[in-house]
A = this chain, B = another copy of it.
Amino acid sequence: MPPIKKYLFTPGPAPVPPEVLLEMARPIIHHRTPEFSAILDQARERMQPLMGTSQEVILLASSGSGAMEAAVTNLLKPGDQAVFVDGGKFGERWGRLLSAYGMTGHRIKVEWGQAVRPEQVEEALTAHPESRAVFMQTSETSTCAIHPVARIGGLTRRRDVMLVVDGITSVGVFDQKMDEWGVDALLTGSQKALMLPPGLAMIALSDRALARAKEVNTPKFYFDLLRELRLQRDEHTTAWTPAVSLIAGLNKSLEMILAEGLPAVFARHQLMAEAVRAAAPALGLKLIAPENPAPGVTGLLTPSAIDSGKVVRHMRDVLGVSVQGGQDHMKGKLVRIGHMGYVSPFDMLIAIGALEIALQQAGHHNFEPGAGVAAVQKRIERGV
């Protein structure tokens, strides 16, 4: 048995603050009431600065994948072509979604840990001029890398091409400038930097995307964004029974986030990320994405002799500290430490402390015990 006190440093779900847990534990209210409408309105409005948009934010009772589906079925028709950035497991999901709905996805394959280069997108759009949209991630959770959304937006906004962005591990982590970057659809989920359990997704659409959605007749029902938008904006309600407790929790967590202040929130995430990265050389480990590391999750490559799965299991089952391993071909090779939402830089001492012990347990002795946490501490002391 691991110790009774446990720590959650997975790249989602991330910890939920007691204040939010208690808010969600309040007696349930009916969703067709002025009381709920006020909460819905406030939560939707509070989402806007996190997404960097003045567009309406639409809430959906689903996980983030539901919002990804909504982006595809509301913005493209069967037979439409699109470009998607496949730089990891979630980029790949765009391709699967496009295929599932009878669209043609032109894949830009990006090595795990790398960022897509704007030239690659330019080339793909030139090679496939019929493409109606580019689908990508701001931050690819599986590879702990970020993609240059702002620069891609510079390309797509000059064309009749929409830019659809999965911000599941970036909204609330670092500054998202949906409107300024020229993003046409930005979506996210509740269980990361928004400090909530999973089960709620958010999506905002640009004017261009809204106009396009009106023309698109792809069959849809549960994820009909124009219907949701009309009801949420004009009637202060939702098309289907909303996830009442999660929305009440969202309103609370956003209150906390905005009280801390977005610049402080982003700086805290940056500091956590840099503290974990600082530990890598001290532990004889390499980063999977040294040039474009995500501020919400850090990926450390384990030496070939060390099974990262074993490290992760030891951390979780013996030490009570949950992080995550690699997915697909990175299974056994990667340790991913999430630092999103209700986490502070000091928590990184624990994440790296547990990692040190588990690495040694797995046979990796190529570092001085304490070197990892010392590196973390040094970076924290330097401050933001």
Fill in one digit per residue for A1-35: 1 if any B CB lies within 8 Å of its CB, else 0: 00000101010111110000110111111111100
Output the least CB separation between A263 and chain B (Å): 27
Say whether A8 contacts B21, CB under 8 Å.
no
In the bound complex, CA of A65 to CA of B72 (Å):
20
9-residue interface stretch from A126-134, A155-163, A197-205: A197-205
Say whether B64 contacts A63, CB under 8 Å.
no
A189 interfacial contact with B, CB 8 Å = yes
The prevalent SS among residues of A at the interface is loop
Selected contact of A198 from candidates B13, B15, B33, B241, CB within 8 Å = B241
Output the least CB separation between A322 and chain B (Å): 5
Say whether A65 contacts B199, CB under 8 Å.
no
A153 interfacial contact with B, CB 8 Å = no
Chain B residues with CB under 8 A of A191:
28, 241, 244
Known: A8-B28, A33-B322, A219-B101. A243 touches B66 (CB 8 A): no
The residue on B at minimum CB distance from A201 is B61
Say whether A221 contacts B96, CB under 8 Å.
yes
Selected contact of A69 from candidates B27, B32, B100, B221, CB within 8 Å = B221
Give the 9 A-B CB pairs with smallest separation, nearest first.
Answer: A199-B243, A197-B245, A65-B240, A21-B25, A25-B25, A63-B241, A100-B221, A198-B241, A63-B240
Q: What are 5 A-to-B residue pairs whose CB atoms are below 8 Å?
A: A14-B28, A21-B26, A69-B222, A100-B221, A243-B243
18 extra A-B contacts, CB within 8 A, seeds A72-B221, A197-B245: A8-B28, A13-B29, A13-B31, A16-B28, A28-B197, A29-B322, A30-B324, A33-B322, A61-B62, A61-B63, A66-B240, A100-B220, A197-B244, A198-B244, A199-B199, A199-B200, A199-B244, A199-B246
